């Protein structure tokens, strides 16, 4: 990763493909119908349930439960590339014809067995049969307000009797509740049991990489000097960094408190040990918050007489960028402001 040696922070509103319908031709209805048609294809037996997994920036896939002469079989159906970005949203997107849908079906990369014991598979199906499929209209914050997330994973659960539900994955978001918590827990447990982590893969974790896009300098409305950088991850998730020079620790703490007051949700709050390579180590205030009306996650922290913020539509990207920036500062802090 080519992170700057400055820990800078800024604000960006990044809208992934699924939320730019007013700016591009995004045929959501045909997209979902095509997914349903492709994922519901049965090679043997009868389909009893399908769980579609729809990430914002990666290829869609699904878990299929089929009853065959040999018993209950569980498979993973996947695409080579994300259909949403290729076909359904963008300046050149076109509504697929029926014949094109057949072509899309051929885009399935493979149908592979899921390593789930038949007893466990039957337990999941039995649980799903008793499930209430009714859902709230949105995931909720702890105060009951709707949480509008710009990045993440959507699940579409379909049962053989025609019931279906659309859920937002809020597993890693403290304080948020799903549109249907019971069904959401069912999906989470299914994924954990079907695809347990492989120890060798866990050790070989690949670090996120960020590419610098834009550097900016200017002044805030209050006249303070502001610098920022706009980054993008390999998965096309934007991270915007900003550093505001406030002149004194008191002013920095006041600005930090103002950020917390306007947050719709405080995900994490406390102090952090800031230790650059050659400058004195300090104890600073730090919080992870959700910004109102935008669904943008913000890591905000004091650093002596400056305030640093990292913003992204992805909580994981924002926190990982902070971790890498602090690691780099511990090696080379020539550009670290205090």
Q: 220 and 322 in one domain?
A: yes
Query: According to the model, what pLDDT value does residue 280 have?
Result: 87
What rounded mean pLDDT belongs to the chain?
Answer: 82
Q: 111 and 180 in one domain?
A: yes
Q: What are the pLDDT digits (tens) for 61-77?
A: 999 999 999 899 999 99
Q: 261 and 144 in one domain?
A: no
* Domain housing 141: 17-200
Query: According to the model, what pLDDT value does residue 86 have?
Result: 72
Q: Is residue 57 within 8 Å of residue 89, measured between CB atoms? A: no
Higher-confidence residue: 184 or 265? 184
Q: What are the pLDDT digits (tens) for 187-232?
A: 999 999 988 765 544 344 467 889 999 998 888 888 889 999 999 8
Section 127-138 average pLDDT: 94
pLDDT bin (cut points 50, 70, 90) of residue 165 is very high
Q: How far is CA 176 from CA 60, 238, 294, in A?
A: 24, 23, 16
What's the CATH code of the domain at 288? 3.40.1000
Q: What are the pLDDT digits (tens) for 9-19?
A: 222 222 232 33
Section 133-158 average pLDDT: 88
Given 200, 222, 243, which residue is the final one in a domain?
A: 200
Q: 217 and 192 in one domain?
A: no
Section 273-278 average pLDDT: 87
Domain count along the chain: 2
- Provide, for the chain, the percentages of residues in helix, strand and coil under a 3-state DSSP scheme, each rounded to the nearest 5: 25, 35, 40
Q: 176 and 72 in one domain?
A: yes
Please state the pTM of the whole predicted model. Answer: 0.56
Handedness of CA 114, 120, 125, 130 (dihedral sign): negative
Residue 262 resides in a domain: yes
Residue 7 resides in a domain: no
- Identify the helix (H) or strand (E) that includes residue 212: strand 210-219
Residue 6 above 80 pLDDT?
A: no
- Identify the helix (H) or strand (E) that includes residue 5: none
pLDDT bin (cut points 50, 70, 90) of residue 168 is very high
The secondary structure of residue 18, as a DSSP letter, is: G
Q: Which residues contact 12 (CB under 8 A, 6 or more apart)?
A: 230, 238, 239, 240, 296, 311, 312
Q: Is residue 61 within 8 Å of residue 53, measured between CB atoms? A: yes
Weakest mean pLDDT among 3-7, 267-271, 288-292, 315-319:
3-7
Q: 90 and 193 in one domain?
A: yes
Given 176, 200, 224, which residue is the final one in a domain?
A: 200
Residue 337 resides in a domain: no
pLDDT bin (cut points 50, 70, 90) of residue 7 is very low
Q: 215 and 196 in one domain?
A: no
Query: According to the model, what pLDDT value does residue 275 have?
Result: 87
Q: 76 and 179 in one domain?
A: yes
Q: 214 and 165 in one domain?
A: no
Q: Is residue 246 within 8 Å of residue 255, measured between CB atoms? A: yes
Q: 186 and 48 in one domain?
A: yes
Q: Which residues contact 9 (CB under 8 A, 6 or more apart)?
A: 228, 240, 241, 242, 243, 299, 300, 307, 308, 309, 310, 311
Cα–Cα nearest to 119, from 76, 182, 71: 71
Query: According to the model, what pLDDT value does residue 295 have?
Result: 64
Q: 196 and 215 in one domain?
A: no
Given 200, 228, 252, which residue is the final one in a domain?
A: 200
Weakest mean pLDDT among 80-89, 114-123, 248-257, 302-311:
80-89
User: How much of the chain exceeds pLDDT 90, in percent?
Assistant: 42
Section 290-298 average pLDDT: 76
Helix, strand or coil, per DSSP, at residue 22: coil
Per DSSP, the residues of 61-114 read EEEEEEEETTEEEEEEEEESS-HIIIIIEETT--PPPHHHHHHHHTTEEEEEE-
Residue 2 resides in a domain: no
Query: According to the model, what pLDDT value does residue 231 have?
Result: 93
Residue 184 resides in a domain: yes
Instruction: For residues 291 and 8, give the distance between their C-alpha atoms in angstroms, rounded to a whole number.
Output: 18
Residue 258 resides in a domain: yes
């Amino acid at each position: 990763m080519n992170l700057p040696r400055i820990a800078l922070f800024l604000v960006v509103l990044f809208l992934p493909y699924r939320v730019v319908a007013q700016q591009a031709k995004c045929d959501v209805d045909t997209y979902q119908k095509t997914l349903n048609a492709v994922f519901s294809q049965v090679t043997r037996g009868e389909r009893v349930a399908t769980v579609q997994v729809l990430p914002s920036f990666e290829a869609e896939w699904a878990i299929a439960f089929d009853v065959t002469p040999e018993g209950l079989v569980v498979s993973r159906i996947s695409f080579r590339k994300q259909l949403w970005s290729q076909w359904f949203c963008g300046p050149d997107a076109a509504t697929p014809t029926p014949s094109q849908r057949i072509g899309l079906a051929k885009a399935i990369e493979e149908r592979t067995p899921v390593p789930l014991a038949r007893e466990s598979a039957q337990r999941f199906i039995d649980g799903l049969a008793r499930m209430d499929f009714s859902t709230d209209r949105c995931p909720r914050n702890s105060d009951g307000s709707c949480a509008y997330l710009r990045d993440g994973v959507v699940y579409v659960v379909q049962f053989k009797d025609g019931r279906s539900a659309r859920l937002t994955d809020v597993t890693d978001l403290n304080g948020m509740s799903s549109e249907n918590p019971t069904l959401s827990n069912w999906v989470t447990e299914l994924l954990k049991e079907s695809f347990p982590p492989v120890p060798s893969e866990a050790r070989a974790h690949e670090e996120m990489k960020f590419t610098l896009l834009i550097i900016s300098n200017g002044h805030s409305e209050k006249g303070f000097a502001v610098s920022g950088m706009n980054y993008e991850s390999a998965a096309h998730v934007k991270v915007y960094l900003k550093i505001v020079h406030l002149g004194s620790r008191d002013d920095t703490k006041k600005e930090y408190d103002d950020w917390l007051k306007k947050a719709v949700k405080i995900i994490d709050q406390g102090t952090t040990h800031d230790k650059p390579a050659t400058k004195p180590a300090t104890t600073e205030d730090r919080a992870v918050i959700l910004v109102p009306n935008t669904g943008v996650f913000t890591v905000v922290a004091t650093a002596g007489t400056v305030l640093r913020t990292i913003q992204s539509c992805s909580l994981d990207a924002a926190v990982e960028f902070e971790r890498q920036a602090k690691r780099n500062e511990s090696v080379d802090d020539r550009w670290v402001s205090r």
